[in-house]
A and B are shown apart, each in its own frame.
Chain A
Amino acid sequence: MNDAMAFLLWTKGPMLNLALGIFALGVAVRLVEILILGRAKNYAEPRAPEWIGGAKALVSRTLPDPGTFRRAPFDVLIGWLWHIGFILVLLFFVPHVELIRGVLGFAWPALPTPLVDVSTALTILGLIAALVHRLTHPVKRFLSTGEDYLIWAVVFMVVLTGYLSYHRLITPYPLALGMHILSAEIFLILVPLTRLSHLFTAFIARWYTGAHFGRKGVEA
């Protein structure tokens, strides 16, 4: 029990600082790496201002076009299911909201815990479905590298350990909670180091593509 408590305190103390430090520094480096490359000046007369197309694409790419949905409904639904579930739990579970309040000094109302519980279970099922799909779909399987499976495992561990801790399925509790916090810290560290970076770079990508098409009068 004392060892478990020491482990928990370590994850909540030095390890948290380390993870947040690597995350912040890493994200900053990645942003600089990307943005420093810039873009060549565009002399072609635009049909519409770039920023309108860029801003629209930030949001619009979240929804697939009807043809894509028809051809790949499983990809879209599973992707949506676990992304939404993950974000919902991350931002609206009572202890998470309290953590945010502790760090930022303010927060928002949490969702009822039973709802978050269902959401977590669905996220776990969604992630398992996504893994099976990755292992069986000819294109996904072909494209996938070790890194894709690594980031799947880390995301899965974050959600799974959270679920197990809440339901007291691992004892002692401090060990369970410590494992959950450590998983989240590994996740944070891997954000700038792997394709998990899409959680911030996807919006840069969407902006550029939306702007590029938007100036030509095409909604992208």
Chain B
Amino acid sequence: MSTLAIRERTLEQGAPAQGLSLARGLAAWRAELDAPIAAFFSSCVHCGLCAQACPFYVETGDPRYTPIYKLEPLRRLWESEFTLLGRIKSWLRLNQPVTDALLAEWEELLYDSCTMCGRCSMVCPVGNDIAYMIRKMREGMVQSGHAPEGLIAASSRAIRTGSPMGLQWKTLEVQIRHVESSTGLQVPIDREGAEYLVLLSSMEVINFPEYLEAITRIFAHASISWTLSTQCFEATNAGVQIGSKDIARTLVERVVAAAEQLKVSKVISPECGHAYTAIRWEGPNLIGRSYPFKVFHIIEVLDELRASGRLRLEGKETDRLSMHDPCNLARKSGVIEQQRNLIELIAEQFVDFEEHGRYQWCCGAGGGVSSNERAEALRLQAFKRKKAQIEAVAPARMVTMCATCRTQLEEGIETYNLNIPVVGLTELIAEHLVDKEPA
């Protein structure tokens, strides 16, 4: 039986699952430890500046949520096994061991109070990429049986059904029919040789069906050749969130197989942040080769259409709009100007948050936190940072381009009675398309 099949089985059985152990967790860490991590741990002088960059610390004031502290068990392993001095200390029994109990205590720090938003990685004076280490540390948490139930369930559903929410193609098909009847356009399915393969996220299909209609209309307007794939429509990657390379690889392989089968030259990741980083940046490394196609976030594609004059828009939104940059899209992928170029086309009054782009604040739900039911109260507390940013510019509506961020913004806004609607940028663009002249 392959390791993946074992993993899948154990994930379904839940923790403490068979086969997962402290030894396997530590082995996973040893495999992940690289020169950057060794340089990072060697450089931290405990200045604590990463704390003021983290919404979980800022909004709770709990020093345990200091980003670098979340890595303490991994640091101990590195020190005792990967440094000469640490080896001497271990030999003299002066080292602090990594135990199962320690990992159990750290589970909350790694999964509930961290969205891997990477803001701490941008402000560390010695240059430590803390989010990079959290991502790698989660690999060992999964292998040692210390991943949260909610994420285990989502990963397991993603492997079994293709969707972290258990969404089936037949549900999507119903939505496709709706889109086709409301637009009078055809949604291309399994069209070999199309230019673009369009991927979706289950959360989008369930919560924001407007997205599919919007891209159907925009792509018809711009005469783009595109297709959906019945073989794989899900872009999200629960494996990247929980921290399991095996699961992440399997999910990426499905996307790659669908793209290769349909011979597309470009793959579009939907309005989702982590799906984009999973496919664009982690994917090729997970499968150990580069792709025969290019990967874009939908916002990059729309901005390219704008730049090449293929997006003809009319009318403007008259209310005051502000924007939330998804961490995975902006800080972790460099897509920052594109969404601003697009919103300028359709907004009369656009106002940016003071800290945006690479220094934006996380909504509080990314990195798997939204799938981790246990973290709900903390997630809404972390949202207060976003709330403060929203209140500072007092927009009439918020615009974003990630279904997880959007759901969190809606929930947070509701919880704190801000009464500000949230809209996806793609659908906002679609509302301003100039009607195509009849052929």
Contact = CB atoms under 8 A, between A and B. Distances in A.
A98 interface: no
A35 B38 CA distance: 8
B46 A144 contact: yes
Report which residue of B123, B294, B355 has the largest number of chain A beta carbons within 10 angstroms of its beta carbon. Answer: B123
B280 interface: yes
A138 B359 CA distance: 24
A209 B44 CA distance: 14
Contacts of A38: 34-35
Main SS class of interface, A: helix
A143 B42 contact: no
B281 interface: yes
A57 to B, nearest CB: 6
Report, as a range, how many residues of chain A touch the other chain. Answer: 35 or more
B42 A217 contact: no
B83 A33 contact: yes
B33 interface: yes
Report, as a range, how many residues of chain B touch the other chain. Answer: 35 or more
A143 B280 contact: no
A148 B333 contact: no
A34 B36 CA distance: 8
Contacts of B40: 205, 208
A62 B53 CA distance: 16
B126 interface: yes
Contacts of A202: 43, 125-127
Nearest to A210: B127
Contact of B122 (A201, A207, A220): A220
A15 B113 CA distance: 49
Report which residue of A75, A79, A142, A217 has the largest number of chain B beta carbons within 10 angstroms of its beta carbon. Answer: A142
Contacts of B291: 45
B52 interface: yes
Interface of A: 29-30, 33-45, 47, 57, 61-62, 64-65, 67-68, 71-72, 75, 79, 137-145, 148, 193, 195, 197-198, 201-210, 212-213, 216-220
Give 10 nearest A-B pairs by CB, closest first.
Answer: A217-B334, A206-B127, A43-B284, A139-B48, A142-B63, A202-B126, A208-B36, A201-B42, A204-B39, A34-B38
